[in-house]
A = this chain, B = another copy of it.
């Protein structure tokens, strides 16, 4: 598990021979595939695949893998990403006042469930600064109000740049990012505290209580400019009953939010999520 690997995530118009072509590229260069999975979206006419192989024994030097693969990918009109397992992604966690997802992500990071670095926490409040200090993570307080939102987003972007952040995790960050922000920094994962598309927007647990649902959920998704409408990575649910007040839904929901967000972040960090259209393939 400790030897470095390369991973290709590829999507291209479906045609004959794609599995063989991609597998041959790796085999011909002496690579040992340790994970290969593919999916064909028949309606979209798309072939989607994930290939991971060991770099030890692979005859192509790292810097030539991308250009060499491009020669194969271009005639196929393929979109692709190449990742190396020893390039550790850098996460910024954004929070507001609630600490459960933050604590959980930090705990999982310490437990080595995530291969990542977490050098930065951004918050529009001060409450969780103490937690950041406790675990030795830089904490930047950037309060948000509608009058200076764009200005503050510029500061946030500057921090992401400065800390060389690869992915932002909104761990109960109760603010909406502007379309402009998302255009500039599209790698953002959010946890929404409902079973989307039910209860978009604010106060989903209150809405769930009012509607009298018997099950509540949580959804992790990539953020797009449409509120709570981005590609879904993971969802889960828990049963509730008439005995559960709104505060019980909130409490039960926290357990969901933690685990759903963690699974989504882990899949993302392992380069298992391929987005196309407004959908995801999560290769397991």
Contact = CB atoms under 8 A, between A and B. Distances in A.
Contact of A19 (B23, B103, B214, B233): B23
Interface of A: 16-21, 23-24, 26-28, 30-34, 36-43, 99-100, 103, 107, 111, 113, 134, 195-199, 210-215, 217, 231-237, 239, 241-243, 245, 251, 254-255, 259, 262, 278-282, 284
A17 B103 CA distance: 43
Nearest to A211: B197
- 7 smallest CB-CB distances across A and B, nearest first, come from A212-B279, A20-B27, A20-B23, A198-B198, A19-B23, A242-B281, A17-B27
Contacts of A33: 16, 18-19
Contacts of A262: 255
A176 to B, nearest CB: 20
Given A17-B27, A195-B195, 5 more contacts: A16-B33, A23-B23, A100-B107, A103-B107, A195-B215
- Judged by DSSP, the binding face of A is mixed
B27 A241 contact: no
A246 B96 CA distance: 36
Contacts of A20: 20, 23-24, 26-28
A242 B282 CA distance: 7
A234 B24 CA distance: 34
B245 A39 contact: no
A282 B213 CA distance: 12
Nearest to A245: B42
A24 to B, nearest CB: 5
Contacts of A196: 198, 211, 213
A197 B214 CA distance: 11
Given A39-B243, A107-B103, A134-B134, A212 B232 contact: yes
A211 B41 CA distance: 14
A213 B235 contact: yes
Contact of A40 (B31, B34, B107, B210): B34
Contact of A212 (B16, B113, B231, B237): B231
Nearest to A208: B197
12 contacts: A19-B23, A23-B23, A34-B40, A43-B245, A100-B111, A197-B199, A212-B278, A213-B235, A215-B235, A242-B279, A242-B280, A243-B284
A64 B85 CA distance: 42
Contact of A232 (B17, B23, B27, B214): B214
